[in-house]
Structure 1
Amino acid sequence: MILRNITYVKFLSRKEAAKNKQLLFLISDTSKVA
């Protein structure tokens, strides 16, 4: 059960990291356009 939780947390953090990367990419993209 604990192992499953760790895997879940890793999965979530990876998802968050991907979201943040997309956000950063969007921000840098808009700053280029501006």
Structure 2
Amino acid sequence: MHQVLDLGINLLHANQHQADHNREHFDAWGA
């Protein structure tokens, strides 16, 4: 069960990182 929790946290962290990455691109395009 602990492994599943870690996996969920890793996915949430990855999604947040992707969101930050996308925001950088949007800023670069002046959106």
Q: Same fold (TM over 0.5)?
A: yes
Unmatched runs of 5 consecutive residues or more in structure 1: none
Identical-pair percentage: 3
Unmatched runs of 5 consecutive residues or more in structure 2: none
Runs of 4 or more above 4 Å deviation? none
- Larger C-alpha radius of gyration, 1 or 2? 1
Structure-1-length-normalised TM-score: 0.84
Pairs aligned (count) = 31
Backbone CA RMSD of aligned residues: 1.3
